[in-house]
Structure 1
Amino acid sequence: MNRTKNWYVICTRPRWELKIYKALVEQGIEAYCPTYTSVRQWSDRKKKISKPYFNSYVFVRLEEAERERVFAIPGVVRYVFWQGKAAKVQESEIQLLKEYLDGEALEDSRIEQLAVGEEVRFTRGALKDRTALVEKIGSHKVRLVLPVLGYRITARMADLVP
């Protein structure tokens, strides 16, 4: 019998990602829900909150025969399917996500070194050594255009060099 564990993507109810992630871990299911910290401003205070990078998605690692276990957790809607089967995510892709999204804290950056229209190169992560054009500069992030791939992305300053 095949006892190989694969990574799958489950869809969740909106804004239930972190609750479901916690419940999966409590059930002994290996799960991954990458998050970032956002500061929310209310009229009387500011608060740091964790938000998922992927809205309504959580990654789980299970054997094929165990896949139904996730439906015991309230808020799990379904698996993501590709060509009629539950979509499997390669271990290498999960590792790239972990490397890039859960990487080191932001390094000191000098925003004034970058200018709109300037070409930059990624120094690490899944896009290492690719070049992009600066479209917009924020306080810790930069919106980039990758002309070769035809994508527009947002990157952390620490991952780029001019």
Structure 2
Amino acid sequence: MNWYVVYTKPKWEKKVADKLSQLGIETYCPLITQVKQWSDRKKKIELPLFNSYVFVQLSDSDRNSVFQVAGVVRYLFWLGKPAIVKDQEIEIIKKSLKAPNISDVTVSAIQVGDKIKLESGAFSNQNAIVQEISNSYYTLVLETLGCVLKIKYK
């Protein structure tokens, strides 16, 4: 059985994970504890590490069963197929969150000005600077090659 990534409605991660567990589906919704401060008090709350994502482990033939739960939007896709997360990657997330020295964890998306390293394709192992992000493409500056690269994504 594979681990898949389910995309949920915003702020529905814990509800979706609970409902899927009640259906007998193995789920994992990594949570972090943060202290939130309001004008009159401070409170520790558990927030999902990955906004709008829940990991589910099930067989390929049972993938449609997650849509029985309110709040499930779709599966996360990679290269036209549902994204599969390896067991060892789930274990790494679990171990990392149990480490005692973690105090503040954030996950952020690629932003304009970030320096990245391309890992695949014709320009693999090239360093680039993100110049622009639109709804369908990234514009990257490859300084060592002296060119601008526009990468289309879905």
TM-score greater than 0.5 by the shorter chain: yes
Q: CA 1:38 to 1:80, structure 2 compared with 1: closer, same or farther past 3 Å? A: same
Counterpart of 2:42, as a letter, is: K
TM-score w.r.t. the length of structure 1 is: 0.61
Question: Given the alignment, which residue of 72, 76, 96 partners 2:72?
Answer: 76
Contact 2:8 2:52 in 1 (8 A): yes
Q: Does 1:62 align with 2:77?
A: no
% identical equivalent positions? 50
**Judging changes above 3 Å, is the alpha-carbon distance between structure 1 residues 142 and 92 closer, same or farther for their aligned structure 2 residues?**
closer
- Aligned pairs, how many? 110
| Alignment of 1:106 onto 2:82 | no
**Structure 1: how far apart are the matches of 2:105 and 2:56?**
30
Matches within 5 A, 1:4-153: 5-101=1-97, 103-106=98-101, 140-141=103-104
CA shift digits 1:13-64 (9 cap, x unpaired):
0111111111111111100111111111122222111001100100000011
In the alignment, structure 2 segments of 5+ residues that lack a partner are 107-114, 118-126, 128-154
Q: Cα–Cα, structure 1 residues 148 and 83, in superposed 2: closer, same or farther, change >3 Å?
A: closer
Letter in 1 for 2:90: I
Structure 1 runs (4+) deviating above 6 angstroms are 147-150
Q: CA RMSD in A?
A: 2.3
Provide the C-alpha distance between the structure 1 equivalents of 2:3 and 2:93, rounded to a whole number of angstroms: 13
Residues 46 and 7 (structure 1), Cα distance of their counterparts in 2 relative to 1, 3 Å cut: same
How far off its partner does 1:83 sit?
1.7
> For the structure 1 residues 30 and 85, does the alpha-carbon distance in structure 2 shift closer, same or farther, using more than 3 Å as the test?
same
Counterpart of 1:124 in structure 2 is none
The structural deviation recorded for 1:141 is 4.9
Following TM superposition, by how much is the alpha carbon of 1:100 offset from its aligned partner in structure 2, in angstroms?
1.1
Distance 1:72 1:29 in 2: 12
TM-score, normalising length: structure 2: 0.64
Alpha-carbon distance in 2 for matches of 1:142, 1:92: 20
The answer to whether the 8 Å contact 2:32/2:105 transfers is: no
Q: List runs of 5+ in structure 1 lacking aligned partners.
A: 108-139, 151-162
| Amino acid in structure 1 at the alignment position of 2:10 | P
How far, CA to CA, are the matches of 1:141 and 1:55 in structure 2? 15
- Name the structure 2 match of 1:160: none
